Amino acid sequence: MWIDPFSLELASPLSTAAGTITERRGFLVGVERDGYWGVGEATPLPGWTESYEAARHALVDATADSPPEPTETPAAAHAVDLACLDAIARRDGRPLAAVLREHGFDTDRPLPESIPVNATIGDGGVDETVEAATEAADKGFAWLKLKVGVQEPKQDLRRVHAVHTAVGDGVSLRLDANGAWDRATARQLVDQLAEIGVEYLEQPLPADDLAGHAALRGRGIDIAVDESLAEASIQRVLAAGAADVAVIKPMAVGGPRRAVAAAADAREAGVEPVVTTTVDGVVARTAAVHVAAAIPGVTACGLSTGSLLAEDLAADPVEIADGGARVPAGGGLCGERFDSLRSARDG
């Protein structure tokens, strides 16, 4: 197994629930299975995963047959899991999504050619938000995810109402508050947002407040959790009745197999899974597309994040067009498209 560090600059600073980030540092990992090399990626994001140094230590001590512990170092575990899966799928000449589906879903339904994706709209003023939203809708995005919670609640309501008026009922609105509100504020806003016609509100309360999220359900707008899945397991979230939608980040849950298993558990409990990234490099982003494709009838996912990077590890094999992410063809992640990453390091 080889390990190769990397650092990727962002196109512009990005605010997250864990703070502002300007670069993504991580590791490429290579694993050989039956004469086939597979490639994986660990791109830690504290707040969702372990630190960079913790991931490095976990990978140095790991092997393909003794991988990192996903509950302790999920990003490192993701890299090894993905590399092994890529090698196996390449050996078998099957897309990674086909191999992943067997780990969570028993169905003969064919894999989709494309996954619907949402466009992410920042937390700018009303005019800036409307301009970005209409531009995304004009490009074919039928789902928009607006950042809220940074500005005053009344201003956020104006922004959401203005976007809904601008794009119409044919575009679904999703909101992400990154845990910014208290229970009283969230309750009031949920009732008002339901009148506008929002599909779901993501992480309105702090990550550890599962009971508070559960109390917000059934008020006319679906409640989604994201950071809560970094704080608690999918089983705890489901047991608490805390969500209508589970936002699953493969990097944060410990690998593609665990992500598909979490999606299957959510579906069984009547909770809709949505797959997103942690602003990853192209290898992990491509894997997230396969995770989404493994979920039968998956709704729009947060997979259009490559533009957030100023540079990348390789050319992107996933085409984003008409509001969808095309699932790469070929064995493994994308056939031979990542061979330059493997051949440069397999010696």
- E strand or H helix at 126, and its extent? helix 126-138
**Residue 127, burial from CB neighbour count under 10 angstroms (0-12, 13-18, 19+):** exposed
Q: 59-67: long-range contacts (C-beta < 8 A, 24 or more apart)?
A: 59/3, 59/27, 59/29, 60/3, 62/1, 63/1, 64/1, 64/31, 64/32, 64/33
Task: Give which of 170, 167, 159, 150 is closest to 192, Cα–Cα.
Answer: 159
Cα 220 to Cα 199: distance, rounded to the nearest angstrom: 9
User: Is 145 a known active-site residue?
Assistant: yes
- Per-residue DSSP letters for 99-111? HHHTTT----PPP
Task: Give which of 332, 347, 336 is closest to 82, Cα–Cα.
Answer: 332
**What contacts 24, CB < 8 A, 6 or more positions away?**
7, 8, 10, 43, 45, 279, 280, 281, 309
What is the DSSP pairing of strand 320-321 with strand 324-326? antiparallel
Q: Which of 139, 145, 147, 154 is catalytic?
A: 145
Cα 136 to Cα 131: distance, rounded to the nearest angstrom: 9
Cα 189 to Cα 153: distance, rounded to the nearest angstrom: 8
- Per-residue DSSP letters for 72-84? T-HHHHHHHHHHH
- E strand or H helix at 343, and its extent? helix 339-343
Decide: 292 and 328 in contact? Cβ < 8 Å.
Answer: no
Question: What are residue 295's DSSP bridge partners?
Answer: none
> How far lies 97's CA from each of 124, 253, 305, in Å?
36, 17, 20
Catalytic residues: 145, 249
